[in-house]
A and B are shown apart, each in its own frame.
Chain A
Amino acid sequence: MNFLDFVVLIGSLVAIAAFGAWHTRRHRNLDHYLRGDETVGWLTIGVSVAATQASAITFISTPGQGYQDGLDFVQNYFGMPLALILIAAVFLPIYRRLNVYTAYEYLGRRFGMRTRLLGAALFLLQRGLAAGITIYAPAIILSTVLGWNLGLTIVLTGLLVIIYTVAGGSQAVSLTQKWQMAVIFGGMLAAFAILLIKIPASLSDSFTIAGTFKKLNAVSFSLDPSRRYTFWTGVLGGFFLSLSYFGCDQSQVQRYLSGSSLRESRLGLMFNAVLKIPMQFFILLLGVMLFVFYQFEQPPIFFNQAAWRDAVRHDPGDQLQALELQFKYASRQEEQHIVQWLKAKRAGNRAAEASARGIALADMSQVNAIRTKAENAMKKADPGVKSNDADYVFVTFILNQLPHGLIGLLIAAFFAAALQSKSAELNALGSTTTVDFYKHLLRREAGDAHYVAASRWFTFFWGLVAIAFALFANLVENLIQAINIVGSVFYGVFLALFLVAFFLKHISGTAIFWAALAAQILVFVLYFFLNISYLWYNLIGCAACVLLGLVIQAFLPNTQTPEPAP
């Protein structure tokens, strides 16, 4: 990165944060601070909902996922449009008419205080963990690649987001998210365009190469339960994950409750229901095209070059350097055979085409075998090293292939993505702590100014917790998967609380409280002992909680006392 890149990076991030903080600095009451006076239109809600979900992980890690495994991750989002329809039709009108600040207030009115606090506590635990990951994820990658100090990157990113979220509340979050999304999509589209220009093959040939190497397998109807992404895990597991995330997670509920009317909130959700699958497809396709690009350009043997150099230093026998030479030779051979294959294809020589394609596939197997050997040797040389380098693919391309200025814009886009999801999470964590715990348990009768101040302090507190978590985080999984795994472990039970509240009126607060605790323990146990796609835990947790609720209710007299309506 040069001076121009730093000007673009710092200029765009600070300008957006200052804009958000300045425009929303005056908050008269709690309603304005937590819901922005419900004045937001559908497009802002739609962008805000998308921005809250799309963290930096989405834009850094998803192209790497596409590079490594192709398009199959897109199936993860198949349940989302269906879930959003249900939320728009059922959840949203109820939340709006009850005029709640948090989704958990509804649980209190339906089941009583204990279940409200359980729901809010599950949210704080799950979202507090995820908030740490969303700040850690871009920082670890960018600091590694750019040579920045990791701790300093985490602290500075965290402080920037804390400042404008604490100052401006919910409205600042929505306002800044719109501009941050503009920076992100501007950068991503520019990177995609340059990538396509740089690939020395037509779009049709690029698709043929990607398809031959099994990178375009977007839909699978496999019934293998250990396979992570299939049509079934996507539609069923993804449906429950999305229903829980968008319907019950305060970081999302707070986004669409800020709408000026039910219509605006619904349209904001439908905007996401239509556009999420193509958006994820586009980001994964970017990764697939990166794969095609690196068939013509020498890729590094390990995209996390800082980790590779460290491992080489710790390798006394020079085995890693020998493997790197083998890798370079095998990659060059593969490139030559791909060029021959495309020439034969264009000439219409079927026999030569089939032969060259077969050789290229064999070359790819050899390249992959050398990479696997190198990863194992790296682990041997340095047991602490992460062998998954998919998260570094896109950043490596940006730094090595894009012109200056655009590099700054893309790095700004990653930080903007980190800030936008982080701000919504902090805003929701602060709101839930204030409304469901502080206002409810500690100070029931205080003025609005007091609650706004409390909310600001809790937002600040959660910001510090996230920074502290990020400073001590150490992840093994690909980052986009890590955040979904954390969600899936908690979300099933979380969702069941709301589904029972909405649809099973005879189940009491006592029954659902104990059912939720038992189901959550069951999910934890299964997670450590079963080898199934994590998306299934959404379904398992939800089903277990509902069934246990029904069973416990059958043995209990119903004596619950719901909270009075305000």
Chain B
Amino acid sequence: MKSTEEHAGPVDPSGRGRLVPAFESLAESQNEITGLPGLPRWSHVYFFVFACFVLWVSLLLILTVLYS
């Protein structure tokens, strides 16, 4: 899915084009350095968070199966 903010350019008077001031693309903001050891890019951080989510759900599932 692509955000409308990714489309640069002046405001279209018809209202059909880009409707907010131009700024650098979202993709660029994802490439910023995170400053975290082992997770240099934001995509790595998101993957780490997703992995934690999978881990929590898996542990809860194991708890459910073990004690049901």
Q: Which residues of A approach B to under 8 Å, CB–CB?
A: 71, 74, 78, 81-82, 84-85, 88-90, 93-94, 97-98, 106, 109-111, 207-208, 210-212, 214, 216-220, 231, 262-263, 266-267, 270, 273-274, 277-278, 281, 501-506, 508-509, 558-562, 565
Whether A216 pairs with B53 at a CB distance below 8 angstroms is no
Residue of A nearest to B45 (CB): A270
Residue B17, interface by CB 8 Å: yes
CB proximity to A under 8 Å, residues B12-60: 14-21, 23-24, 26, 29-30, 32, 34-36, 42, 45-46, 49-50, 52-53, 56-57, 60
Across the interface, which residues of B come within 8 angstroms of A219, CB to CB? 57, 60-61, 64
Contact B64 A218 (CB under 8 A): yes
Q: What are 26 A-B pairs with beta-carbon distances under 8 A? A: A71-B63, A88-B42, A89-B26, A89-B30, A90-B3, A93-B29, A94-B20, A97-B24, A109-B20, A111-B19, A207-B67, A208-B67, A212-B67, A214-B68, A218-B60, A219-B57, A219-B60, A219-B61, A267-B34, A277-B53, A278-B56, A281-B56, A502-B3, A503-B1, A505-B7, A565-B20
Would A85 and B1 count as touching, CB distance under 8 A? no
A559 and B15 contact, Cβ closer than 8 Å, known pairs A90-B26, A218-B61, A502-B5: yes
Complex interface: chain A residues within 8 A of B56 (CB): 277-278, 281
Q: How far is the CB of A314 from chain B (nearest CB, A)?
A: 41
CB distance from B23 to the nearest CB of A (A): 4
Residue of B nearest to A499 (CB): B1
* Shortest Cβ gap from A506 to chain B (Å): 6
The reply to whether B46 and A110 contact each other, CB–CB distance below 8 Å, is no
B60 & A502 in contact (Cβ 8 Å cutoff): no
Note all chain A residues with C-beta closer than 8 A to B23.
Answer: 97-98
Is B53 a contact partner of A502 (Cβ separation < 8 A)? Answer: no
Check A109–B19 contact: CB distance below 8 A: yes
Instruction: Give me the 5 closest cross-chain CB pairs, A-B, nearest first.
Output: A211-B67, A505-B4, A218-B60, A93-B29, A81-B53
Q: How far is the CB of B36 from chain A (nearest CB, A)?
A: 8
- Cα–Cα distance between A15 and B44 once the two chains are bound (Å): 41
Distance in angstroms between the alpha carbons of A214 and B64 in the assembled complex: 9
**Shortest Cβ distance from A72 into B: residue:** B64
Chain B residue contacts of A106, Cβ below 8 A: 20
CA distance A281 to B68 in the complex (A): 17
Known: A74-B60, A263-B34. A81 touches B11 (CB 8 A): no
Q: Is the CB of A82 within 8 A of B68?
A: no
A375 to B42, CA, bound (A): 53
Task: Name the CB-closest residue of B to A273.
Answer: B49
**CB neighbours of B53 from chain A (8 A):** 78, 81-82, 273, 277
**In the complex, how many angstroms separate the beta carbon of B66 from the nearest chain A beta carbon?**
7
Minimal Cβ-Cβ distance residue in B for A501? B4
Give which listed residue, A81, A94, A208, A267, contacts B52 with CB less than 8 A: A81
Which A residues touch B66, using CB under 8 A? 211
Contacts of B19 in A (CB 8 A): 109-111, 505, 562
Instruction: Give the distance in Å from the alpha carbon of A16 to the alpha carbon of B29 in the complex.
Output: 37
4 new A-B contacts at CB < 8 Å, known A94-B26, A565-B21: A81-B53, A98-B23, A273-B52, A505-B18
A81 touches B26 (CB 8 A): no
- Which residues of A are found within 8 Å of B32, using beta-carbon distances? 262-263
- B52 CB to closest chain A CB (Å) equals 5
Nearest B residue to A217 via CB reads B64
**Nearest CB on A from B60, distance (A):** 4
Q: Which of A85, A216, A503, A506 contacts B63 (CB 8 A)?
A: A216
CB <8 Å contact, A81 and B60 = no
Chain B residues near A217: list those with CB within 8 A. Answer: 64, 68
A278 to B55, CA, bound (A): 11
Q: How far is the CA of A514 from the CA of B66 in the complex (A)?
A: 51
Q: Report the Cα distance A358→B42, complex, angstroms.
A: 53
Contact of B4 among A84, A503, A558, A559 (CB under 8 A): A503
| Known A-B contacts A94-B5, A217-B64, A218-B60; A84 and B49 likewise in contact (beta carbons under 8 Å) | yes
- In the bound assembly, the distance between CA atoms of A332 and B20 in angstroms comes to 69
Q: How far is the CB of B48 from chain A (nearest CB, A)?
A: 8
A562 in contact with B52 (CB, 8 Å): no
User: Could you say which residues of chain B place their CB within 8 Å of the CB of A266?
Assistant: 42, 45
Docked pose: A508 CA to B19 CA in angstroms: 10
Among A90, A110, A111: residue with most chain B CB under 10 A: A90
**In the complex, A508 Cα to B4 Cα: how many Å?**
13
**Chain A residue contacts of B30, Cβ below 8 A:** 89
- Residue from B15, B34, B42 within 8 A of A89 (CB atoms): B42
**Nearest CB of A to B3, in Å:** 5
What is the CA–CA distance of A212 and B57 in the complex, to the nearest angstrom?
21
**Separation in Å of the B16 CB from the closest CB of chain A?**
5
B26 touches A98 (CB 8 A): no
Q: Which residues of B contact A110 (CB under 8 A)?
A: 4, 19-20
Question: Considering the chains assembled together, what is the distance between the CA atoms of A270 and B53 in angstroms?
Answer: 11
Report yes or no: B2 in contact with A503, Cβ–Cβ below 8 A: yes
Report the nearest B residue to A231, measured CB to CB.
B57
Q: Which residues of A contact B68 (CB under 8 A)?
A: 211, 214, 216-217
Nearest CB of A to B25, in Å:
9
Q: How far is the CA of A501 from the CA of B17 in the complex (A)?
A: 12
Residues of B within 8 A of A262 (CB): 29, 32
How far, in Å, is A270 (CB) from chain B's closest CB?
Answer: 5
A94 touches which one: B1, B3, B35 (CB < 8 A)?
B3
Contact A89 B46 (CB under 8 A): yes
Measured between alpha carbons, how far is A21 from B11 in the docked complex, in Å?
44
